[in-house]
């Protein structure tokens, strides 16, 4: 696959592109690749130059890994050093443990750890190889709306304002989505309001083929082994506590990790490589994910919290849900909200139940005694543990973890 190149500024004739994808994270690149695979003329705009880093724990859940296979990039991800994780070990505040064993829940299942520096560049190369045009360092500032329909975007490219037009705009511009904001769709849930901080470390010991989550009373940490002996280390705490901290962010981050004894032991001989990246508050959603002339995918559509590890999966899955709807609408020459509505319905079917599971898990993470209690029961009741591992890995229907039978078995003494 060739490296994405900076392309000359395209002409702004309406017929040049059928779709403009704003953002080249997993959601945008996968949507662009699938639309280009289907024969559409696609332009991808990203304000960054690739490869670039992204604040993320860099854990692709098992179903996300399968979607990488569907996109025919899994092999290359493994060749780039993606680290297979057959399970996720969750440490609770009272010293309990629950192993979400993906391979036990379904043979061959594993999550992948790969830096976003490598993963996102790989997916962007996939989009380019499919025929999508890519413009890096193209900062979208606004959407163009005519007669109530989105018809393009206004961007800053090489310091100059440019208007780029296409029948369909896909907002895949992540957490601070300009597309969602410009359309007045942004809605931040009042809870949880948490900030996630991440960094790469070298020399972390005691990590094997699993990722780890460590929940404390002051926040939680995640450890994910990546390529080239790197480990992603994340610390998540209340956004108000992070912004009201005394002293530098570095001290806060390292202090938070030091208060989690099992993490501190693993980091004892390790050194941080590069800076600390953060996002907060992380939870967000758009009131609508499709409308006249536009679709939203990935974080631009919604994101809750990294604890349950489905952000990249949801971005990739949303691309798979959006592309056929967008393709049919483009072929029909009708990109109205009514024609794009099946995408909203497909999202509801794909994500709604899992989101309820995520809210439940958030409740447990915020109630240490309850989390200790649940972990002890999951440990003793392997069938429940397998169900939850499959649901968290997005390869079993989330409804299984919401059924009264499951919840009763989980909560009975």
Q: What is the binding site for ligand FAD (CB under 6 A)?
A: 22-28, 45-48, 54-59, 139-140, 172-175, 178, 196, 198, 234, 279, 282, 298-300, 303, 306, 309-313, 315
Min dist. Cβ of residue 290 to ligand FAD (A): 15
Pair 27, 320: CB distance under 8 Å? no
Min dist. Cβ of residue 116 to ligand FAD (A): 7
Min dist. Cβ of residue 161 to ligand FAD (A): 13
Q: Which is nearer to ligand FAD, 122 or 198 (CB)?
A: 198
> Which is it for strands 42-45 and 19-22: parallel, antiparallel or unpaired?
parallel
Min dist. Cβ of residue 217 to ligand FAD (A): 20
Pair 168, 19: CB distance under 8 Å? yes
Helices (H), 237-367: 239-243, 249-258, 261-267, 311-332, 337-365
Q: Which is nearer to ligand FAD, 105 or 358 (CB)?
A: 358
Q: Which is nearer to ligand FAD, 56 or 410 (CB)?
A: 56
Min dist. Cβ of residue 23 to ligand FAD (A): 3
Consecutive H or E run containing 212? strand 210-215
Min dist. Cβ of residue 404 to ligand FAD (A): 29
* Cα–Cα separations (whole angstroms), residue 217 to 115, 237, 367, 369: 28, 10, 9, 10
The 3-state DSSP class for residue 131 equals: coil
Task: Please give the Cα distance from 378 to 365 (Å, whole number).
Answer: 15
Q: Which is nearer to ligand FAD, 132 or 312 (CB)?
A: 312
* Cα–Cα separations (whole angstroms), residue 282 to 193, 194, 243, 309: 7, 6, 13, 13
Return the residue nearest ligand FAD (CB atom).
298
Q: Which is nearer to ligand FAD, 59 or 253 (CB)?
A: 59
Q: Which is nearer to ligand FAD, 25 or 293 (CB)?
A: 25
């Amino acid at each position: 696959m060739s490296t994405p190149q900076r392309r000359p500024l395209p002409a702004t004739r309406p017929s040049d592109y059928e779709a403009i994808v704003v953002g080249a994270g997993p959601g945008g690149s996968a949507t662009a690749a699938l639309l280009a695979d289907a024969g559409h003329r696609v332009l991808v705009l990203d304000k960054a130059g690739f490869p670039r880093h992204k604040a993320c724990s860099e854990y692709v859940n098992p179903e996300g890994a399968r979607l990488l296979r569907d996109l025919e990039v899994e092999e290359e991800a493994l060749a780039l050093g993606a680290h297979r994780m057959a399970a996720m070990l969750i440490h609770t505040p009272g010293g309990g443990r629950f192993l979400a064993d993906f391979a036990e829940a379904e043979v061959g299942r594993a999550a992948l750890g790969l830096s976003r520096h490598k993963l996102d560049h790989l997916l962007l190369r996939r989009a380019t190889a499919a025929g999508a045009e890519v413009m890096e360092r193209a900062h979208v500032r606004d959407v163009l709306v005519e007669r109530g329909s989105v018809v393009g975007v206004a961007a800053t490219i090489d310091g100059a304002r440019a208007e780029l037009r296409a029948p369909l705009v896909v907002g895949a511009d992540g957490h601070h989505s300009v597309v969602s904001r410009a359309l007045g769709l942004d809605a931040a849930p009042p809870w949880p309001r948490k900030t996630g901080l991440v960094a790469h470390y070298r020399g972390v010991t005691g990590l094997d083929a699993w990722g780890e989550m460590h929940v404390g009373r002051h926040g939680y940490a995640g450890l994910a082994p990546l390529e080239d002996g790197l480990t992603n280390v994340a610390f998540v705490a209340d956004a108000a506590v992070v912004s009201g901290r005394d002293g530098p962010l570095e001290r806060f981050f390292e202090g938070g990790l030091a208060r989690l004894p099992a993490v501190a032991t693993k980091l004892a001989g390790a050194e941080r490589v590069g800076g600390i990246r953060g996002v907060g508050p992380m939870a967000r959603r758009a009131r609508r994910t499709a409308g006249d002339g536009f679709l939203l995918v990935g974080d631009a559509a919604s994101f809750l919290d990294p604890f349950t590890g489905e952000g990249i999966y949801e971005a990739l899955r949303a691309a798979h849900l959006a592309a056929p709807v967008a393709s049919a609408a483009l072929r029909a020459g009708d990109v109205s909200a009514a024609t794009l509505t099946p995408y909203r319905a497909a999202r509801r079917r794909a994500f709604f139940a899992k989101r309820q599971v995520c809210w439940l898990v958030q409740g447990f993470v915020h109630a240490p005694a309850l989390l200790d209690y649940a972990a002890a029961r999951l440990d003793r009741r392997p069938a429940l543990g397998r169900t939850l591992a499959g649901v968290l890995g997005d390869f079993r229907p989330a409804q299984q973890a919401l059924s009264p039978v499951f919840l009763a078995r989980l909560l009975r003494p």
